[in-house]
Amino acid sequence: MVHIQNFTDASSLEPHWGYADRVVPCTNDAGSCKYLDVVYHSHDLGMLYSGIFWATIAGILFIWTLARRLAPSRRADEELLVPVRASSSPSQGGIERLKSALAAHSRRYLLPDFSRPIFGRTTRLQVLTLVVLTGYLAVWSFVGIVYNTWVTPVKKMPGVYNTRTSLGPWSDRVGTLAYALTPLSILLSSRESILSLVTGLPYQSFNFLHRWLGYIIVVQSTLHTIGWTIIEAKLYQPQPTVARDWIKQLYMIWGCVAMILLFLLFALSTPWAIRLTGYEFFRKSHYILAMVYIGACIGHWDKLSCYLVPALIVWFLDRGARLVRTAILHYTVLPGGEVAFGPAKASTTVFSDPNGDVVRLDFVHPHDAWAVGQHFYLCFPESSIWQSHPFTPLSLPIHDDVSCGVQHSYIFRAKGGETKKIAQLAAAKMQQAGGVTPLTSVILTGPYGEEITTHLTQDVNVLCIAGGTGITYVLPVLLGLAYQPRSVKRKVTLIWAVRQKADVAWVQPELDRVRQLAKSIDLTIRIFVTREAEGESSISEKSKYADHDFKSVSEPIVRSDQTPDSSSAASTSAAYPCCGPPSDSFAIQKTAIPASNPHDEPIHRHPDLSILVKDFIDETVCGRTTVYASGPGRMISELRSIVARSNDGSKVWNADERYDVSLVCDDRLEW
């Protein structure tokens, strides 16, 4: 607007927040003055609407926080403080039953994936949130603008006219909204998430909105650029003089730089680009490009720094908090009074596998116990200090007074990159040491994520489903249940799909520990082997724990050339003492094959989760069911649909809690 107004002869200037000052009174022609009225009024409304947008977000977070405080869900630790009733599960009050019925009804329709080719493995609830946000922004993009066209003469050029339209104020509006969304995008991407503290949701649950909000900013910025390019290169006269003078201005140079950086951010964040360059390159380049992009935006239009400076502050606070977390975990006071930074030393075991070796890390570290379900970022300084990866401990977080620390145990598959380097490093150390268990330096950051067992009251049935190394997410749940008071009617089942029988050795000590501790659990362990030689395709162990004995209940063997009655694996009948069977006592059986394809090859065999989940719910005596799951994205997507179909709000309202089924999953990042 500077080139339209005559600042030299201005009698006074009228300030406008986030925009150039306006010359008052207007000394231009009547058409230009009306156009300037629309431009400045539209911008003022745009700033107001941006404030309303942020006020709406603050209001939602405030109501969310208030609801969490005033109407909290039942917690397992609170239930332990009251005497356990010998009767059936406690009946729900009217408000509690209404909450459960509404939750079951919403899960039925909002839990499954939606349009996977477009949105990826994302629930309908996340997509609905995105649609509401997009619609809200669309409204603010168009309201309050007077749509018209003004043809005005060019000074000192008779017969030459400018065409001024509402494309200008509209382009300014979408540009302003793109700036206003930048702090929200940074908030949604933060690992030390303020949103997680307020809502209780884990930081990774905001990744979908962060990604799509970035796409919205790309669209807004592109439309802003196209709009002003049309205005300056076509509608304003004379051409090409106006266009040349426009593109040479410093704010336009910074605008072009910002758009180039934004398109790079967009291109490098696509799934195909991440697969091509690797996740670590994406992560590091994303950080750098994002910060330089924000700096370029300030250079383009510093009058809107009120949005960009907070975004930078949030970003630096997030990084600073991560460093503080790491320092708290690893800085120790030496006997001489000196303070030193020391990584943990993890004993490393490598399990050879043609599909990628599996590495197990075990160490004790002095710090407070984390919550079941949380994870740590591990950095391996012997390989690289610039990379860290998230891993979920498979050990139960209990502080040991003897060792003055907490036991950490992790397993991960070394497919490539950093994890493969660690496996090769451990193998080389073992060879040099003559078979002695090697030690690997580990730097921890965390814990992150949510506590996933707080709602496991005595009446909740538990179904744990894991694929491969996803067992680390569900094993602590079972270990934690073993320490709870006995629940007569609770049903607990573990379903674990592995590629070969030897994979059970990854977590053999923990499985043995479950058998030793879970005397009060009606526990069924079913292990499916999906890629074994003929005659060695599945393992199943059904364990009924009484007070002083352990029994393995037999089931019929299902062969690949038979039509099974259900997709369940089988086990031979055997009996063991109270501590459970020895570690090599798993019976080898065939994987059950869906009736629709009874002659499938072993490499394609996997448990039919729809039948297994349905059978589990049908066999429960009473109470709600929580399904814990971790594994490949395809398995998680399948479980979302299965669990959604298992919910029925009307039956829950009629006091049949078996149809209140929730899913707690550890979404693996797949590109």
In DSSP notation, 249-311 reads: SHHHHHHHHHHHHHHHHHHHTSHHHHHHH-HHHHHHHHHHHHHHHHHHHHHH-GGGHHHHHHH
What residues does 442 pair with on adjacent strands?
A: 344
Question: Taking the CB of residue 370, how many other CB atoms lie within 10 A of it?
Answer: 19
Instruction: Report, as an integer, the average pLDDT of 468-475.
Output: 94
* DSSP state for residue 623 in the 8-state scheme: S
How far from chain centre, in Å, is Cα 308? 25
How many Å from the N-terminal Cα to the C-terminal Cα in the chain? 45
pLDDT digits (tens, 9 = 90+) for 374-400: 999 999 999 888 888 999 999 999 988
Instruction: Report, as an integer, the average pLDDT of 477-497.
Output: 86
Mean pLDDT over the full length of the chain: 84
- C-alpha pair distances (Å), 242 with each of 40, 222, 257: 22, 21, 21
Q: In which band, very low, low, confident or very high, does the pLDDT at 333 lie, cut at 50, 70 and 90?
A: low
* DSSP state for residue 317 in the 8-state scheme: H
Residue 592 pLDDT exceeds 70: no
Which residue is it, tokens 């039942």?
A: 74
Residue 255 pLDDT exceeds 70: yes
Q: State which of 223-237, 417-431, 586-600 shows the largest mean pLDDT.
A: 223-237
d(C-alpha 415, C-alpha 417), whole Å: 7
d(C-alpha 222, C-alpha 216), whole Å: 10
pLDDT digits (tens, 9 = 90+) for 125-145: 999 999 999 999 999 999 999
Share of the chain above pLDDT 70, in %: 82
Instruction: Report, as an integer, the average pLDDT of 76-89.
Output: 49
Residue 59 pLDDT exceeds 70: yes
Which residue is it, tokens 């690997």?
A: 440
Q: In which band, very low, low, confident or very high, does the pLDDT at 463 lie, cut at 50, 70 and 90?
A: very high
Q: Give the closest residue to 633 by CA, choosing from 656, 666, 658, 608.
A: 666
Q: State which of 50-54, 515-519, 551-555 shows the largest mean pLDDT.
A: 50-54
Q: In which band, very low, low, confident or very high, does the pLDDT at 601 lie, cut at 50, 70 and 90?
A: very low
Residue 205 pLDDT exceeds 70: yes
Contacts of 60 (CB under 8 A, 6+ apart): none
- C-alpha pair distances (Å), 408 with each of 350, 364, 629: 16, 6, 21
Question: Taking the CB of residue 480, how many other CB atoms lie within 10 A of it?
Answer: 20
Contact status, residue 24 vs residue 40, Cβ threshold 8 Å: no
User: Residue 671's pLDDT is what?
Assistant: 42
- C-alpha pair distances (Å), 514 with each of 219, 465, 487, 505: 52, 16, 16, 14
Instruction: Report, as an integer, the average pLDDT of 611-617.
Output: 95
d(C-alpha 446, C-alpha 466), whole Å: 23
pLDDT digits (tens, 9 = 90+) for 219-247: 999 999 999 999 999 999 999 999 999 99
Contacts of 41 (CB under 8 A, 6+ apart): 144, 146
Residue 488 pLDDT exceeds 80: no
User: Residue 457's pLDDT is what?
Assistant: 86
d(C-alpha 399, C-alpha 368), whole Å: 7
258-272, 297-311, 584-598: range with lowest mean pLDDT: 584-598
Contact status, residue 345 vs residue 426, Cβ threshold 8 Å: no
Of 450 and 517, the structure prediction assigns the larger pLDDT to: 450
Sorted by where each starts, the structural domains of the chain and their CATH numbers stand as: 31-68+107-248+301-323 (no CATH), 343-448 (2.40.30.10), 461-667 (3.40.50.80)
Of 361 and 446, the structure prediction assigns the larger pLDDT to: 361
User: Residue 356's pLDDT is what?
Assistant: 85
- C-alpha pair distances (Å), 645 with each of 99, 317, 460: 19, 42, 19
Instruction: Report, as an integer, the average pLDDT of 287-294.
Output: 96
